[in-house]
Structure 1
Amino acid sequence: MAVHDECKLKFLELKAKRTHRFIVYKIEEKQKQVVVEKVGEPAQSYDDFTGSLPADECRYAVYDFDFVTEENCQKSRIFFIAWSPDTARVRSKMIYASSKDRFKRELDGIQVELQATDPTEMGLDVIKSRAN
């Protein structure tokens, strides 16, 4: 599975310049490559992010989560989310599962990985607990 250059460029912008809140990636099966489907502005919320994931199709996503620690320090964690809803096609789930590790290696700087098959598995409470 090839990875389009834009995937890495947008991720570097998110990581270094913080110009994006999230990125949703999609596998173009015909071209056999991962492409950027959607980019979220820094002001967008976690709900905007989860709303941009299709209910019945797999996606990869990266989310830049800002939080405050118990010591009152401002921190951020970059989450990699493998979205694979139960309602997605079996072939699609297999393609996403088999290319996930290779794609993730292309994105240097991911701190937390989540696998989600329904929205409750990547709720804000889950993100908060995994960030600390």
Structure 2
Amino acid sequence: MAVHDDCKLKFMELKTKRTYRFIVYKIEEKQKQVMVEKLGEPGQTYDDFITFLPADECRYAVFDFEFLTKENVPKSRIFFIAWSPDTAKVRNKMIYASSKDRFKRELDGIQIELQATDPSEMDLEVFKSRAN
């Protein structure tokens, strides 16, 4: 599975310049490559982000999660989310599962990985508990 240059470029902008809050990636089967599907503006929230994950299709996503430490120090962690809902077709799940590690290696700077099959597995509380 090829990775479109835009995927790495946009990720670097998120990581270094904080240009985006999140990026949703989609595998285009016909072109056999991972493409950027949606870019979240810096002002968008977690609630905005989850609306771009389809209920019955897999996606990869990167989310820049900002939080305060116990000492009230602002920090952020870059999460990689492998979204694979139970309702997705088996072929769709297989393609995403088999391409995940190679794609993730292309995105240098991911700090935390989440696998999610339904929204509860990537609830905001999950992000908070994994970020610390």
Assess same fold via TM > 0.5. yes
Q: Which segments of structure 1 move beyond 3 Å, counting only runs of 4 or more?
A: none
CA distance in 1 between partners of 2:2 and 2:118 (Å): 27
CA distance in 1 between partners of 2:121 and 2:50 (Å): 11
Deviation at 1:23, TM superposition (A): 0.1
Deviation at 1:71, TM superposition (A): 1.2
Q: Report the identity percentage.
A: 82
1:15 aligned partner: 15
Aligned residue identity for 1:24: V
Query: Could you state the TM-score of these two structures normalised by the residue count of structure 1?
Result: 0.99
CA distance in 1 between partners of 2:103 and 2:118 (Å): 22
1:64 aligned partner: 64
Cα-Cα RMSD: 0.3
2:53 aligned partner: 53
Q: Where in structure 2 are there 5+ consecutive unaligned residues?
A: none
Give secondary structure in 2 for the equivalent of 1:36. Answer: strand
- Aligned counterparts, 1:43-122, within 5 A: 43-122=43-122
Query: Could you state the TM-score of these two structures normalised by the residue count of structure 2?
Result: 0.99
Q: Where in structure 1 are there 5+ consecutive unaligned residues?
A: none
Aligned length: 132
Aligned residue identity for 1:125: E
CA distance in 2 between partners of 1:62 and 1:16 (Å): 14
CA distance in 1 between partners of 2:53 and 2:96 (Å): 14
The superposition leaves residues 71-98 of structure 1 with CA deviations (integer Å, 9 ceiling, x where unpaired) of 1111000000000000001001000000
CA distance in 1 between partners of 2:124 and 2:74 (Å): 17
